[in-house]
Structure 1
Amino acid sequence: MADAGLIRDEERLRRIEAVTDATLSRLDAADLFDELLDRVRDLLDVDTAAILLLDTHAQQLVATAAKGLEEEVRQGFRVSVGRGFAGRVAESEQPVIIENVTSDTVVNPVLLTMGLRSLLGVPMFARGQVIGVLHVGTLRHRDFTPDDVRLLELVADRASLANSARSNNLDHTAALALQRSLLPTQLPDVPGLDMAARYVPGHATGIGGDWYDVFRLPSGWLGLVIGDVSGHGLQSAVVMGRIRSALRAYALVSDEPAEALSLLDRKVSHFEAGSLTTALYAMISPDRTTIRLSTAGHLRPVLAVPGRPGAQVPAHVDPPLGTGRRSHARRQTVVDLPPGAVLACFTDGLVERRREVIDVGVEQLLDVVRPAPAEEVCATVMAALATEQPTDDIALLVVRRRPAHG
């Protein structure tokens, strides 16, 4: 009999592992948890199964999925950590068994209305922290065994992995969608200029806060921006969106790039504390002959003029945005943009390489940026420098002043 019980337990474990492995690839939370809870009810021979996930801000458990207790989810049941059955599981971070359910042992009226007699709940963990509670119940008295507890803990572990994978995928997808929505879908058609751009998300470390922007100003000047918010993931993309919008607003009230970046620095320091951001803001004159630019910790752009090798613009690099260091006013540089000249602005993902100083990548960029149509320059640069699987976002913005004959 003991051997038969062991075989039964091993079979139950295999069935749990099989179904939870399958759910890891799913993004739909309802499908993911519903299938898991159905299998749990079958394997443990219980009447109800439910998952409550932790709302970390409110420190409350929220009914997220249930089988046999669907009303709990429909009512949006919440319970504070430490209160009621699920709250005690989360607070103690240990399994809790209630052999006889009463109004003194639970606070959720749905459990009493259902007529549940016995409950078993276990915590769900991710990175060592409680993220929720998985519990099962029976309409008849049940003495849950240590084997039942171990099996439910295994299910909780697998559910936590599935939820984390789903959350990471959703965050990555949301960040990518947000980032792409904030990048210009089409660069403006500006007389006298030819423009092209590239954006490649970093796949190894996730989406970051790289962006570029091009906009016309009422004065007739053209604004060019490229920047990089530190970090990766959805939060960096959100911060990037706010900074991008703020810089557009400051560009409307300031005719000087350095002044616009100074205003932006105050905004980032106050409202985006902890977000280190680099940015380059350039303005091209209405007659397209002059560029004013200021850089806040960002790599200097490359300027390729007909008859001369490409070189980085000799601009002063001031501190990044949000550092709080203001030993002197931000500076700006004025350079000529002759007919046929190309300005290439980029983020560090284009020129950084593992085990190489960044100067190596910059030198490679200088070798390939030549006076040519903007789309051709973008294609040449990406073919030469973006040959590896990117570990960081790459943004590239190329502007060329059309030759007098073109």
Structure 2
Amino acid sequence: MIEADDSGADERLRRIEAVTDSALSRLDVEDLLDELLARVCALLGVDTASILLLDQHAQQLVATAAKGLEEEVPQGFRIALGRGLAGRVAQEKRPVVLDRVTPAEVVNPILHDKGIRSMLGVPMLAGSELVGVLHVGTLARRRFGADDIQLLQLVADRASLASQARLGTIDRTAALALQRSLLPTRLPEAPGVDMAARYVPGHHTGVGGDWYDVFTLPSGWLGIVVGDVSGHGLPAAVVMGRLRSALRAYALECDDPADALTRLDRKIQHFEAGKLATVLYALVSPDRTRLRVSLAGHLPPMLARTGQPTDTMSLPVDLPLGTGRPRPRRSIAVDFPPGALLVCYTDGLVERRGELIDIGLERLRAAVRPGPAEAACATVMAALGVEQPVDDVALLALRRHPPAG
């Protein structure tokens, strides 16, 4: 008896090691789920195994990976919580055993077509939160025991970690797609000026709340925007996208940057309560001789002119957007001479931990020289060393073409 017990314990340990093999951690998430299902089929002696992940918004389980039921995945089969075996497991967050499968207990027609006779399902949990359901099935009648349930739950726990990693990858991919859709892939061509820009995220997801934008208005004026939403990552990027779109709409209705920013302030206070943003909005006249600039808590741009030192533009700085303290906003008209270079940026370019911002501003001022916008951006980025920023960085340079000859 003792030898039999030892043999059973050794076998159980071998089965557990098979699904916790460290080699699994080196697989891609999709391959890991497939390998886990293949191993559980072999170890439990079952004919099918499936993973269904929870769609939070729909409150449905979605077939994501399968062995023996591969057609279930491309069909994207969905099950509502509470329906069928998987729905019960999800709703109750506990294992469910069906020694005898009946049409009333399963809702997926593929299971009937396969002739599944017995099933076992366990929840996939992250803490107390449901991630999905793992279930197995056999073509012959079978009674699943406590050891079967324990082993399958171990696999489900491993699959939960892999699924969370997969969802994290999907979220990062979606976040990057969002950021790229909001930042211009190519700045518009506008007569009389050349432009260049840079964006470097300060968050590991590759997205953030800083942005730049350039657009031509029906009046012929050229709109220039650089902004910074408080926070980091996807939440800041989502708010940034809303503000960017709203400001474009207000720009079509307002010929005064201060008026457009006043409307944008009302928008953020009502729809994005608790968020703050700094924004520079400038309009360049159709003949490119003048700028009209309004600053909502944003750092003033720098202007480099031929034969003169680079200066931080002397402009009034109004309150950031979202403070909840409505004050009149101001627009200032500034000459934009031929050959002049306008450099707009967010604070991530010049701020460093443990260093006064004035030092970063002076570093930027020393790097800005009149010349083509693309060369200016390259020089600034190299001089200020933003290969590994701790905050998002947006940089936009615009140069008025010098006189011919």
TM-score, with length taken from structure 1: 0.85
Indicate the residue corresponding to 1:21 in structure 2: 25
Post-superposition offset of 1:135: 1.2
Note the 1:236-251 alignment, pairs <5 A. Answer: 236-251=236-251
Counterparts of 1:280 and 1:267 in 2: how far apart (Å)? 16
Decide whether the 8 Å contact of 2:257 with 2:283 is kept in 1: yes
Post-superposition offset of 1:283: 0.7
Letter in 1 for 2:383: A
Counterparts of 1:361 and 1:108 in 2: how far apart (Å)? 63
Q: Aligned-residue CA RMSD in angstroms?
A: 3.0
**SS of corresponding position for 1:318:** coil
Letter in 2 for 1:260: A
Decide whether the 8 Å contact of 1:201 with 1:394 is kept in 2: yes
Indicate the residue corresponding to 1:398 in structure 2: 397
| Worse-matched range after superposition: 288-297 or 180-189 | 180-189
C-alpha spacing 1:58/1:211, structure 2 compared with 1 (3 Å): same
How many percent of aligned residue pairs carry the same amino acid? 62
C-alpha spacing 1:123/1:198, structure 2 compared with 1 (3 Å): same
Note the 1:309-324 alignment, pairs <5 A. Answer: 309-320=310-321, 323=322
Note the 1:86-97 alignment, pairs <5 A. Answer: 86-97=86-97
C-alpha spacing 1:353/1:165, structure 2 compared with 1 (3 Å): farther
Q: Does 1:136 align with 2:115?
A: no
**Over residues 81-140 of structure 1, what are the superposed CA-to-partner deviations in whole Å (9 max), with x where a residue is unaligned?**
334322232233233333333455445455455443432222212364211111112233
Post-superposition offset of 1:250: 2.1
**SS of corresponding position for 2:25:** helix
Indicate the residue corresponding to 1:160 in structure 2: 160
Counterparts of 2:149 and 2:239 in 1: how far apart (Å)? 43
Post-superposition offset of 1:275: 5.1
Note the 1:56-205 alignment, pairs <5 A. Answer: 56-70=56-70, 72-73=72-73, 76-103=76-103, 105-108=105-108, 110-112=110-112, 114-126=114-126, 128-202=128-202, 204-205=204-205
Indicate the residue corresponding to 1:365 in structure 2: 364
Indicate the residue corresponding to 1:294 in structure 2: 294
C-alpha spacing 1:11/1:392, structure 2 compared with 1 (3 Å): farther
Q: Does 1:5 align with 2:8?
A: yes
**SS of corresponding position for 1:158:** helix
**SS of corresponding position for 2:209:** strand
| Worse-matched range after superposition: 213-222 or 2-11 | 2-11
Counterparts of 2:356 and 2:155 in 1: how far apart (Å)? 47
**Over residues 279-299 of structure 1, what are the superposed CA-to-partner deviations in whole Å (9 max), with x where a residue is unaligned?**
221111223232111223333
Note the 1:251-270 alignment, pairs <5 A. Answer: 251-270=251-270
Letter in 2 for 1:316: V
Decide whether the 8 Å contact of 1:172 with 1:233 is kept in 2: no
Post-superposition offset of 1:49: 1.0
Post-superposition offset of 1:368: 2.4
Counterparts of 1:354 and 1:13 in 2: how far apart (Å)? 48
Decide whether the 8 Å contact of 1:20 with 1:162 is kept in 2: no
**SS of corresponding position for 1:100:** coil
Counterparts of 1:13 and 1:201 in 2: how far apart (Å)? 42
Post-superposition offset of 1:256: 0.7
C-alpha spacing 1:231/1:130, structure 2 compared with 1 (3 Å): farther
**Over residues 214-266 of structure 1, what are the superposed CA-to-partner deviations in whole Å (9 max), with x where a residue is unaligned?**
12223222111112344444554454344333322322221111112223334
Decide whether the 8 Å contact of 1:179 with 1:209 is kept in 2: no
Q: Does 1:348 align with 2:352?
A: no
Counterparts of 2:231 and 2:52 in 1: how far apart (Å)? 30
**SS of corresponding position for 2:390:** coil
Indicate the residue corresponding to 1:226 in structure 2: 226
Counterparts of 1:114 and 1:149 in 2: how far apart (Å)? 23
Counterparts of 2:76 and 2:377 in 1: how far apart (Å)? 52
| Worse-matched range after superposition: 331-340 or 252-261 | 331-340
Decide whether the 8 Å contact of 1:50 with 1:63 is kept in 2: yes
Decide whether the 8 Å contact of 1:205 with 1:392 is kept in 2: no
Counterparts of 1:327 and 1:235 in 2: how far apart (Å)? 25
